[in-house]
Structure 1
Amino acid sequence: MVSLEANDRLSSQEAVLGSLLIEPKLIGPVLGKVADRDFLDDAYRQIFQAIRAQFVSGKPVDPVTVRDRLGGGETWSRLLLEIMEDTPTAANIWEYVPRMQEQARLFRGREIAQDLARVSDMEELRRGLDKLQALTVERQDVGRMNMEQMLQSFWQRHTTPHRYLTWGLSKLDQQLFADLGDMIVLGGYPSAGKTALAVSFAYHQSAEKRVGFYSLETSRYKLADRLIAGMAGIEMAAIKRGELTEAEWTRAADAAPKILRHQLELIDASGMTAGDIRADALANRYQIVYVDYLQIVEPENRRANRTEQVSAISRAFQQMAHGSGILVVALSQLARSEKARDDSRYVEPTMSDLRESGQIEQDADAVLLLYLEEPSRPNESRRVLKLAKNKDGERGRMYLAFDGAHQRFRQAGADQT
């Protein structure tokens, strides 16, 4: 006797396959989101593989051609017809697909959990827990494509313009084509404002994505004060002194509904390793992660020298981004640059100034460097945001005005490329 749970699981698979047989135009988009592993029943998996092979070959897809690709026979004919009859409509396929995938992950998760009950040491336990974490991530396996799949993917992905992640600065949005799965490094000298800029980016992106801001240096309460100062237009000095006026309390209350619509969480991460941050991010389903900052993340190997430790941390975040489909924005200290002899200004920083490891610039998909235009006048100086590395676009620099009283940045002056 088949359980109600099994019937429910199989009906989701049937609904997806039935939709593809009823409306072949759906096959292309579905192939970009569904894999063999999403079908737990062997017969349904074979049907999906036959549909995919028929589609990729450029030949018509219907019950007859799929049956013939499966080897023919009355059994396959009957099953294909039953699947189509049981599927009420192809219009709901995007409801069927995630339901089927969630049920498949749940089934595999239970299998892993059963194995965990029989582990004999901590290493086996860690491996099992890693497998469980991987089930929460869409990109579980090694990705590969042949040339037919490449062309198919190209048409699917570029039929409509792709929406890249934005940063709240129009010039940066035009030049930096960042996406989930990338690793971005934001480097800056101490007191240049990189944390304030990162918090601004994170808040902007959290209007549409789940964002986790892991702070290893500044408490979540101090970050919250900075955010509210900027969003409500309240001076930081008044917040720090605890002397908010009635008008300022009103502004804070007025800003609250907008703030509450953002999916941003501030995390005290002192003592966390890159592995800890990855596990926590996956558990909380963050789509974007900020790490402030990379050089003070707890190393996994305390016996390694400092360069090796920072390199390992950088590689771990790169693997987290590329392997988990999370945008990782890692803040980094810049080594203090020598001052130019003639005008006492800092020499413009380069990627080689990222502290303690050249591995950071190798791992990053893009590198942003933040510094003062006139270091001798820190309160009046504009900030320069230099796009020093940009794999998919142009490099350049832009000028920002920093309102320290309210922890706000805005574009200022003529930008150079």
Structure 2
Amino acid sequence: MSRELFSDEAEFGILGAVLLKPELFDEICSKVAVSDFHDLESAALYQVMIDCHAAGVPIDVVTLSDCRQRLPSGKATLAHAGEVAMNVPSAANWKAYARIVRERAVLRQIVNAAYVINDTANEERPLSEVIAMAQQATADLRDLDDDGQQDYYKASEILPAVIDTIDSKFNKTMPTGLSTGLEKLDELVRGLRPGNMIVVGGLTGSGKTILGLQIAQHVTCKLAGAGLAMTKEELVTRGLASLGGINLSALDSGDLQDDDWPKLTSAANVLMGAKLYVNDQAGMTVARIRSIARQCQRREGLSVLLIDYIQLISAESSSNRSLEVGKISTALKNLAKELKIPVIVLAQLNRGSTNRPDKRPRPSDIRDSGQIEQDADVVILVHRDMESEEGQNGVTELIVGKVRHARVGSCMVQQQGKYVRFVDFEGRPPSNEDVEMGRSFASKFKGNKKHE
């Protein structure tokens, strides 16, 4: 027995519940939209209810008729509303009716999407274009797993869990968030938190990808990554260099020393046991990233998602690029909230900072869209001045230009270029006087060169 794609009875039940108990309207309206109705008469009557409510008019059979005398078929609104009211004896089961109406509406959307996909497949278009059209056709379908959740909560209901969390953090039995692996950076951002979007920005060659990958590796070798700027082989090779402390050039050329092999074996064992998932497909869209991430979370478990980088994500349409990147940014923020994990998004900066006296970047320097800065919970800017002796020796400033749950600030780290990683800076950071006078402080950190 096949399932019907609509239920006139459930649609009548929703309308009848409003007529019998008008005080339920706001709650019902938050669950069911006009577009969820299949029957045109019922949809029209529901719209009249919405119009009356918006105008501050009480909802009953007479006021509905006064608001709109006839429905699309020509039938009198008074007659149709009266028929609905008489055939629904109780409003008690309105939630069940609402679920049925929404489920059938989604089923109809799925069927319509299938027709679109079928028509596209029969037009002899390239396979990649058919797949893209299929993704677009299904992108607006929403899951029904939020049914039954409360729309709002009383503070007293939330308070016990919050107090327990504070107590656990005080007793050090619960971390405030995932560690970045860099002590000074952790002090600034206070952990990478579930549902947060963390933007790591930098100019080309500044080390933003190194930082993003290193954070993700530290979180896991439980890592989940969607790597868009490099091949999967390059990403894993960098992981071996970073975890093993092996010269990346030696791995690329094969000129390994005797003492490199034990390091390589150790790093390989770590990666073999890691929850590291990499995708290096070109032309990825947010819809595709979301699909892969949800699948990975369901099958493998997901601790963090790394996007390298936002400006490489393909837009669903070819309109204004700034608007499209803004939409992509908001979608990634929503994905973080949906998956309840930190999403680390790498982003290119424009070159505006290079014209400033101190050359230090700001969150507003993120390229293509200011929406990225607005959506981000944390913005970390990687600043390495290659014109200075310090920068040439790998000293890098991590500027936390935005953080919702802490104060902005910065810290110094040492980039170990050949190992493609950062370590905590062991020397003395420059004072304000040093910065203002352009005074070199290379001698303060020369001892760190042994890490390079």
When the two structures are superposed, what TM-score results if normalisation uses the length of structure 1?
A: 0.64
| Aligned with 2:167 (options 153, 159, 164) | 159
| Aligned with 1:314 (options 320, 329, 335) | 329
Alignment of 1:270-289 (within 5 A): 270-285=282-297, 286-289=302-305
* Residue 117 to residue 333, structure 1, CA distance change in 2 (3 Å): closer
Deviations 1:297-355 (A, max 9, x none): 011121x11111110110110111123312111000010135458xxx65211111000
Quote the offset at 1:156 in angstroms: 3.2
Letter in 2 for 1:193: G
Residue in 2 aligned with 1:330?
Answer: 345
Alignment of 1:388-399 (within 5 A): 388-399=401-412
Residue in 2 aligned with 1:144?
Answer: 152
Alignment of 1:13-412 (within 5 A): 115=107, 119-122=111-114, 130-131=141-142, 144-161=152-169, 162-163=174-175, 164-177=177-190, 178-207=192-221, 209=222, 211-285=223-297, 286-302=302-318, 304-337=319-352, 339=354, 347-377=359-389, 378-412=391-425
In structure 2, the residue corresponding to 1:165 is in which secondary structure? coil
Identity of aligned residues (%): 28
Residue in 2 aligned with 1:40?
Answer: none
* Residue 220 to residue 395, structure 1, CA distance change in 2 (3 Å): same
Letter in 2 for 1:187: G
- Please say if residues 399 and 414 of structure 1, whose CA atoms lie closer than 8 Å, have aligned partners that are also in contact: no
Residue in 2 aligned with 1:94?
Answer: none
Gaps (5+ residues) in structure 2? 1-99, 118-133, 433-452
Moved over 6 A (4+): none
Cα RMSD after superposing both structures: 3.1
Letter in 1 for 2:381: L
- Please say if residues 314 and 363 of structure 1, whose CA atoms lie closer than 8 Å, have aligned partners that are also in contact: yes
In structure 2, the residue corresponding to 1:388 is in which secondary structure? strand
Deviations 1:222-266 (A, max 9, x none): 111111112122211111112223432232113333333321222
Deviations 1:244-296 (A, max 9, x none): 23432232113333333321222103211111111100100023110000011
- Please say if residues 299 and 310 of structure 1, whose CA atoms lie closer than 8 Å, have aligned partners that are also in contact: yes
Q: Equivalents in 2 of 1:139, 1:171: separation in Å?
A: 43
* Residue 160 to residue 379, structure 1, CA distance change in 2 (3 Å): same
Letter in 1 for 2:423: R
Gaps (5+ residues) in structure 1? 1-107
* Residue 128 to residue 232, structure 1, CA distance change in 2 (3 Å): closer
Letter in 2 for 1:144: Y
Q: Equivalents in 2 of 1:232, 1:129: separation in Å?
A: 44
Q: Equivalents in 1 of 2:346, 2:295: separation in Å?
A: 22
Aligned residues: 298
* Pair member with larger Rg: 2
- Please say if residues 307 and 345 of structure 2, whose CA atoms lie closer than 8 Å, have aligned partners that are also in contact: yes
- Please say if residues 397 and 410 of structure 2, whose CA atoms lie closer than 8 Å, have aligned partners that are also in contact: yes
Letter in 2 for 1:329: I
Q: Equivalents in 1 of 2:148, 2:200: separation in Å?
A: 28
